[in-house]
Amino acid sequence: MLSNDPSTTVKDLARDLKFKLLDALRHKEINEIIELVNSKGPEFMVAIQDLAKNLRSQLQSKPNKGALYKSIALVAGEDTEEVANFYRIKKSKKLGKDINILNKLDISKEVIDSINIGWIDTCKDLGIDTVQYIPKQIPIIKDLLPKSAKETTLETKYILLIIVAAALLGVWLTQRDSRPKEKKEAPGPVHTPKPAPSPPSANPFALALVLPGSKLGDIKAGKLELDDLIKLLNETRYFFCQDLQQMQDTQKKLALSPAEVDRTSDELVFVQIGFESTSQAVTKATFRGALERYLREGGNTTFRIEVIKTLERVSGLQALGFIQI
């Protein structure tokens, strides 16, 4: 039975849809996203609308500050800090920073434009100077924005923010629930402490990127700095991370050309990057922002480019496990 509390109801929706809601925000039109929510039951959209009204009320005094954090707080409740820290969302972040996070999560341009134009309307609705509150990189002339954004109502803007928060919560809950749970030992006689176990050994992993040859720059086989790896990741169309042995098997199933890579062409290129890690977490990343976070925080100091080859055929990549960006 569903709770009468809208936050609990939306949290149930996030847990039920898991990655589906984030995927819809990346690839579906706004009306299709709303239809997905409605398909789970009308009570979920009612709960989202209730939270959207609450969010609008909270943001009236400072419409350009902490929007994403406040949206998550309404949906996640006691888990707010952990969810916000997972995505590096801060209470004090202004709209431009929130939009950068949504871009890293590959949220669709239609959704982001709709949230942007909503902020312009909010400022005008409250009599606030848009030049002061809207970041310079966001157009403030409606004629420059897509038709879909111009037609977005204020209500839709807040509903989208709550749906985004629910999507982020769903991904976080799924990853949290998949972690091994610690076993609680029953009280017993006191034993002499055992020596601390030695730290886990690092295992070899391989990260596969698929990107246009023209985006390779002058990189070549050998050592790769983390910042250069992130630059490649930002140009990537597909990525996949596995332990090294599995990647070797995956590579055999790809159509790779022995010909020299053309770095002036938009032909897609397969790049395999090797590294070592004590954690399997990096193999569970499902979007670019999470992968970047794992790479930056995983303690990996050495990356090596092991393979650079032209990819003759893209079909079948997702069936092998590659994630399209």
Q: Does residue 158 sit within a domain? A: yes
pLDDT in tens, 2-52: 457 888 888 888 888 878 888 888 888 888 888 888 888 888 888 898 898
Range of the domain at 118: 6-177
Instruction: Give domain status of residue 185, yes or no.
Output: no
Same domain for 166 and 297?
no
**pTM > 0.75: yes or no:** no
Q: What is the C-alpha separation between 105 and 205, in angstroms, rounded?
A: 23
Identify whether residues 149 and 32 lie together within a single domain: yes
Highest mean pLDDT among 3-12, 202-211, 296-305: 202-211
Residue 247: both structure tokens together: 């990647």
The answer as to whether 15 is a domain residue is yes
Are residues 133 and 207 located together in one domain of the fold? Answer: no
Is residue 197 a part of any domain in this protein? no
Number of domains in the chain: 2
Element (H, E) at 272: strand 268-277
18 in any annotated domain: yes
The CA-atom distances, in angstroms, between 87 and each of 12, 101, 172, 231 are: 20, 8, 9, 20
- Both 162 and 222 in one domain: the answer is no
Within-domain flag for 196: no
Q: Are residues 104 and 221 in the same domain?
A: no
User: What span, in angstroms and rounded, lies between the C-alpha atoms of 68 and 84?
Assistant: 9
Residues 288, 159 within the same domain: no
Q: Which of 66-70, 155-159, 191-195 shows the lowest per-residue confidence on average (mean pLDDT)?
A: 191-195
- Identify whether residues 106 and 233 lie together within a single domain: no
The amino acid present at 299, given as its one-letter code, is: G
Residue 66 falls inside a structural domain: yes
Determine, yes or no, domain membership for 279. yes
